[in-house]
Amino acid sequence: MKTKTVIKFSMIFLIVILLGSTVSIPMANAAPNAAASWCSCLVFFQNNRGLPATGDANFSAYKYASWLSTHGYNVRYVTPSKTFTGAGQFAGAGFIINPGVLGSNSTAGHIGVVIDVKYNSSTKKWDIYFKDANSNYALMPGTSYPKTESNCNNVGYRLVSTSSLSGVSFFYASKK
């Protein structure tokens, strides 16, 4: 008799546990899904690449790669080659523009996510295709503004052409 009682109790307990695991109980402090919002270029970059925030709302975008290298990340800088013709060579890399270069903010600079980098031998210019937030760079042909991406509602797909890569850098970051 005791064995049957233990088996029944065990079965009832198992059923209660299984039913309980399928019931959704709302948590009092759970935040609802946030709607996409306006973002700075740095916040978009951090969201898009899954990288940490600096904790400083006024942090200069052009200093972010250096900040990452002192906060547990390997930062590898890369330089495009005029002779390499492979599409997407730098896709996903960070694209930093120093303050005042190519029309970037005079104190914070700018940061974006590279889509592609190509050297145009006929114009002798670099064509840098990237996505960013909060900028006035020219849109890539065939795109419109704004797009919502990485929880930011002011994302643009951009194209900047320059004869010199002076004042710009490209990098990849990975956790140490």
Is the residue at 86 inside a domain?
A: yes
How crowded is the C-beta side of 140, counted as CA atoms within 13 Å? 18
- Rounded to the nearest integer, the mean pLDDT of the chain is 85
Residue 23 has a pLDDT of 36
Per the structure, the count of domains in the chain is 1
Tens digits of per-residue pLDDT, 33-81?
568 899 999 999 999 999 999 999 999 999 999 999 999 999 999 998 8
80 in Cβ contact with 119 (< 8 Å): yes
Tell me which residue range forms the domain holding 106.
Answer: 41-175
Q: 163 lies in a domain?
A: yes
- DSSP element (H, E) containing 7: helix 2-22
pLDDT tens digits, residue range 77-92?
999 888 766 677 899 9
The span from the CA of 11 to the CA of 135, in Å, is 62
In a domain, 35, yes or no: no
